[in-house]
């Protein structure tokens, strides 16, 4: 069952809408510190949204942001191709189980195809059953390890 919602790609001038999406992310991920405690300026957000390789999509219901995603297009070196990485995707708790996340990914796949991307990929955290089930229904599961490497602290000494 797909909810009545409109999907829209954000662009320059949509900083306030991106702020609403960040509020959805903060709530969904239980991470206010990352998504709301040090918000960037409107100029920064508009500059980000002007970049073709940055895709911010929102799901709107009655003009309210009820979900969305932020993805990044990556040009590859091994072949003349690009891939699209979904960095954040969330739907407000009151609007889940209505097909919005699937609709957002489908909309992103359309943009990715227009841009000549070969694949859209996303990671899910272990234990996040709903996200894993969604992504398994849409694609092929790969087991990988993810590492965060801090910058500015030098490399580990051997």
What mean pLDDT comes out for the span 145-155?
Answer: 65
Name residue, tokens 């990988």: 144
What mean pLDDT comes out for the span 23-43?
Answer: 95
The residues, ordered by sequence, that sit 6+ positions from 96 with a Cβ below 8 Å of its Cβ are 130
Domain 6-138 has CATH 3.40.630.30: yes
Higher pLDDT pick, 146 / 7: 7
* E strands in the chain: 6-9, 54-61, 64-75, 82-91, 117-122
Class of residue 102 by CB neighbours under 10 A (exposed 0-12, middle 13-18, buried 19+): middle
The whole-number pLDDT of residue 152 equals 76
The whole-number pLDDT of residue 1 equals 44
Q: State yes or no: pLDDT of 137 exceeds 60.
A: yes
Return the C-alpha torsion angle 70, 24, 34, 37, nearest 10.
130
Whole-angstrom distance, CA of residue 78 vs CA of residue 47? 29
What mean pLDDT comes out for the span 22-27?
Answer: 97
The whole-number pLDDT of residue 146 equals 61
Range in 14-23, 31-40, 71-80, 127-136 the model is least confident about: 127-136
Model confidence over 64-106: pLDDT tens digits? Answer: 999 999 999 999 999 888 999 999 999 999 999 999 999 999 9
Encoding tokens for residue 93?
A: 């708790």
The whole-number pLDDT of residue 154 equals 61
């Amino acid at each position: 069952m797909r909810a009545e919602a409109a999907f829209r790609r954000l662009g320059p001038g949509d900083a306030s809408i991106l702020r609403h999406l960040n509020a959805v992310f903060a709530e969904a991920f239980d991470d206010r510190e990352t998504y709301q405690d040090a918000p960037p300026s409107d100029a920064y957000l508009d500059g980000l949204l002007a970049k073709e390789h940055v895709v911010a999509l929102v799901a709107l219901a009655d003009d309210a942001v009820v979900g969305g995603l932020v993805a990044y297009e990556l040009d590859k070196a091994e072949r003349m191709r690009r891939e699209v990485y979904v960095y954040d995707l969330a739907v407000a708790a009151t609007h889940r189980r209505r097909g919005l996340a699937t609709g957002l990914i489908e909309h992103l796949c359309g943009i990715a195809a227009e841009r000549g991307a070969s694949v859209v990929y996303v990671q899910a955290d272990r234990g996040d059953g709903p996200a894993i089930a969604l992504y398994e229904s849409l694609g092929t599961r790969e087991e990988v390890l993810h590492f965060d490497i801090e910058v500015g602290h030098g490399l580990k000494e051997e």
